[in-house]
């Protein structure tokens, strides 16, 4: 397929209404969890994204019947006789494939999932996943590029999931999905509290699991013998919603965001208000009005409910045109700053000291060709392009398409000048 780019002519205050899609990061482990039962599962509000297509391809490879009804965003799965090997060719496309490990192990007691490998946002080890599954009684070896996990049975116990950078989201998902079919009770301490984990637990409970404490750092799971099919509506994507909130703030626009859960966005709301934007919650919608951005920010990324690392690049775009000196410390992925050098091409005044970015707000950004390096970096560049004067070409937007459903259409509906074009520059 030819590469595509986005061409953005910035400087338009975005106005109107945007509806938020289902959450990518909730949907991926939930799709993996359908491996836990031979019965029909129906997953609704599934976003149309490259990562979702990769997860469906993986499930099909594993022998799951997958029916994808695009207009209704519904995926139906039936994992009657899954096989236990997830190959490198599919796994390498998406790191989230690692969350097949827990459900495959629980269902088959023997599985091999390719090691997900490195990632441009930094080193992403899976030692905590392995530690957690081992605590449940699995033997886990890494051999020939595969994680091989096997056991006679999984037995509930206490598992601590906190690491150097806080709790692990997909690690918690893996241990949770393994523990639901383990013998006895598992207590996961320092579990990830992200809404996506809570949504996974809600889905698992609909399947017949017995999980208490979802959304808190302590999960108690009473293992059951088997799970049944379930029907579930995936929560809204809080990162997509946060991205549109920043879009309203940094273009001086006025956007009503529909379908998002405001309670999931407290940290983002707080920082936008601090910078000078107005955020109102009315009857299930969030309205963000740009006004004048006047205050630089100090921002540190943290596990939920702290400020999400997945919103850091977007906030860097905002800070690049907010007067004063802003300071951003990245505590989850210390090297997740690939967007800064591209933002500098648009005129942003940025410096990096270890895992801290120092951003001096400039009067204006000016459009230029830039290169997307990863999903959220791309979103940061789109926002910077929307604020910049003139034309910004963003290359390699396949990164963006992994996590934002129809972003160019949604932006156009808000008045932005955004075109998706084939990129005939082979170096781009
Ligand atoms: C999830 O990744 C998300 N992905 C990421 O979103 C998100 O950035 C991240 O959580 C943090 O919020 C999905 O949900 C599919 P972690 P995950 O394990 O679970 C370290 C996006 O843009 N760590 O919570 O893989 C790790 O290196 C993506 O949508 C270990 O040290 O992240 C990091 O520093 C990118 N050992 C920290 O923990 C481990 O075994 C948190 O990572 C696991 C993680």
Evaluate if residue 224 carries a pLDDT over 90. yes
Q: What is the pLDDT of residues 163-196, one digit of tens each?
A: 888 899 999 999 999 999 999 999 999 999 999 9
| Angle (CA) 14 20 21, round 5° | 135
Verify whether ligand 1 is closer than 6 Å to residue 403 (CB atom). Answer: yes
Instruction: Please report the pLDDT score of residue 264 as a whole number.
Output: 98
Q: What is the pLDDT of residues 376-400, one digit of tens each?
A: 999 999 999 999 999 999 999 999 9
pLDDT-derived band at 330, boundaries 50, 70, 90: very high
Phi, psi of 107 (to 5 degrees): -80, -40
Name the helix (H) or strand (E) containing 329. strand 325-329
By mean pLDDT, which of 2-11, 67-76, 94-103, 353-362 is the weakest? 67-76
Give the mean model confidence (pLDDT) for residues 228-240: 98
Verify whether ligand 1 is closer than 6 Å to residue 27 (CB atom). Answer: no
* Ligand 1 pocket test, candidate residues 102, 132, 170, 400, most atoms within 8 A of CB: 170
Q: Which residue has the higher pLDDT, 357 or 92?
A: 357
Percent residues over pLDDT 70 in the chain:
98
Evaluate if residue 134 carries a pLDDT over 60. yes
Q: What is the pLDDT of residues 30-83, one digit of tens each?
A: 999 999 999 999 999 999 998 999 999 999 999 999 998 776 689 999 999 999
Q: What is the pLDDT of residues 416-425, one digit of tens each?
A: 999 999 988 7
**Alpha-carbon distances of 164 from 127, 135, 249, 303, 333, rounded to whole Å:** 11, 19, 33, 12, 11
Nearest residue to 323 via CA among 297, 347, 288: 297
pLDDT-derived band at 88, boundaries 50, 70, 90: very high
Q: What is the pLDDT of residues 92-105, one digit of tens each?
A: 889 899 999 999 99
pLDDT-derived band at 427, boundaries 50, 70, 90: low
Instruction: Please report the pLDDT score of residue 72 as a whole number.
Output: 63
Q: Residue 85 Cα, ligand 1 centroid: separation in angstroms? A: 23
Evaluate if residue 23 carries a pLDDT over 70. yes
Q: Please report, for the chain, how many H helices and E strands are present, in that order.
A: 14, 26
Query: Atom 16 in ligand 1: which residue has the minimum CA distance?
Result: 168
Instruction: Please report the pLDDT score of residue 312 as a whole number.
Output: 98
Q: Residue 275 Cα, ligand 1 centroid: separation in angstroms? A: 27
Q: How many Å apart are CA 281 and CA 232, to the nearest integer?
A: 26
Query: Atom 27 in ligand 1: which residue has the minimum CA distance?
Result: 124
Mean pLDDT of the chain: 95
Cβ atoms of 320 and 328 within 8 Å: the answer is no
Verify whether ligand 1 is closer than 6 Å to residue 54 (CB atom). Answer: no
Cβ atoms of 154 and 181 within 8 Å: the answer is yes
Q: What is the pLDDT of residues 289-302, one digit of tens each?
A: 998 888 999 999 99
Verify whether ligand 1 is closer than 6 Å to residue 304 (CB atom). Answer: no
Verify whether ligand 1 is closer than 6 Å to residue 131 (CB atom). Answer: no
pLDDT-derived band at 119, boundaries 50, 70, 90: low
Instruction: Please report the pLDDT score of residue 39 as a whole number.
Output: 98
Instruction: Please report the pLDDT score of residue 181 as a whole number.
Output: 98
**Catalytic residue list contains 316:** no
* Ligand 1 pocket test, candidate residues 49, 58, 129, 169, most atoms within 8 A of CB: 169
Burial class (CB in 10 A: 0-12, 13-18, 19+), 265: buried
pTM recorded for the entire structure: 0.97
Q: Which of 119, 151, 193, 261 is catalytic?
A: 119
Verify whether ligand 1 is closer than 6 Å to residue 164 (CB atom). Answer: yes
Q: How many Å apart are CA 138 and CA 153, to the nearest integer?
A: 8
| CB burial readout 375-409, b (16+ within 10 A) else e | bbbbbbbbbbbbbbeebbbbbbbebbbbbbbebbe
Cβ atoms within 10 Å of 323's Cβ, excluding its own: 17
pLDDT-derived band at 428, boundaries 50, 70, 90: very low
Verify whether ligand 1 is closer than 6 Å to residue 365 (CB atom). Answer: no
Cβ atoms of 161 and 189 within 8 Å: the answer is yes
Give the mean model confidence (pLDDT) for residues 138-162: 96
Structural domains of the chain, with CATH: 4-20+236-422 (3.65.10.10), 24-227 (3.65.10.10)
Q: Residue 167 Cα, ligand 1 centroid: separation in angstroms? A: 9
Instruction: Please report the pLDDT score of residue 1 as a whole number.
Output: 73
Instruction: Please report the pLDDT score of residue 425 as a whole number.
Output: 74
Q: Which atom of ligand 1 is nearest to the CA of 129?
A: 40
Q: How many Å apart are CA 131 and CA 134, to the nearest integer?
A: 5
Instruction: Please report the pLDDT score of residue 108 as a whole number.
Output: 97
Dihedral (Cα; 180, 204, 49, 269), 10-degree rounding: -110
């Amino acid at each position: 397929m030819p590469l595509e780019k986005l061409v953005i002519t910035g400087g338009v205050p975005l106005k109107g209404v945007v509806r938020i899609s289902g959450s990518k990061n909730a949907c991926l482990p939930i799709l993996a969890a359908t491996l836990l039962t031979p019965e029909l599962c129906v997953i609704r509000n599934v976003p149309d994204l490259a990562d979702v297509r990769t997860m469906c391809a993986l499930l099909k490879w594993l022998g799951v019947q997958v029916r994808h009804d695009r207009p209704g965003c519904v995926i139906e799965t039936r994992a009657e006789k899954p096989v236990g090997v997830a190959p490198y060719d599919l796994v390498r496309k998406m790191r989230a494939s690692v969350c097949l490990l827990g459900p495959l192990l629980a269902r088959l007691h023997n599985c091999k999932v390719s090691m997900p490998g490195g990632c441009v946002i930094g080193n992403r080890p899976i030692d905590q996943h392995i530690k957690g599954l081992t605590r449940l009684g699995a033997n886990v070896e890494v051999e020939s590029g595969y994680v091989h996990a096997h056991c006679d049975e999984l037995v509930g116990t206490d598992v601590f999931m906190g690491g150097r950078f806080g709790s692990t989201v997909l690690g918690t998902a893996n241990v949770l999905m393994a523990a639901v079919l383990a013998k006895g009770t598992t207590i996961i301490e320092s579990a990830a509290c992200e809404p996506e984990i809570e949504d996974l637990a809600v889905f698992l409970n609909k399947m017949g699991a017995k999980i208490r404490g979802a959304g808190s750092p302590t999960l108690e799971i009473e293992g059951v013998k088997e799970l049944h099919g379930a029907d579930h509506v995936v929560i809204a994507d809080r990162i997509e919603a946060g991205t549109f909130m920043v879009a309203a703030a940094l273009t001086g626009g006025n956007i009503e965001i529909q379908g998002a859960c405001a309670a999931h966005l407290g940290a983002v709301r707080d920082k936008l208000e601090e910078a000078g934007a107005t955020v109102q919650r009315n009857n299930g919608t969030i309205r963000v009005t740009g006004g004048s951005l006047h205050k630089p920010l100090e921002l540190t990324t943290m596990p939920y409910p702290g400020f999400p690392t997945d919103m850091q690049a977007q906030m860097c775009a905002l800070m690049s045109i907010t007067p004063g000196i802003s300071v951003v410390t990245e505590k989850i992925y210390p090297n997740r700053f690939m967007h800064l050098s591209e933002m500098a091409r648009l005129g942003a005044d940025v410096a990096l000291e270890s895992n801290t970015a120092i951003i001096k707000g400039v009067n204006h950004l000016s459009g230029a060709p830039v290169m997307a390096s990863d999903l959220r970096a791309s979103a940061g560049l789109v926002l910077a392009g929307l604020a910049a004067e003139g034309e910004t070409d963003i290359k390699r937007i396949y990164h963006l398409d992994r996590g934002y459903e129809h972003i160019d259409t949604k932006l156009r509906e808000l008045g932005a000048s955004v075109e998706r074009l084939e990129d005939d520059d082979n170096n781009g």
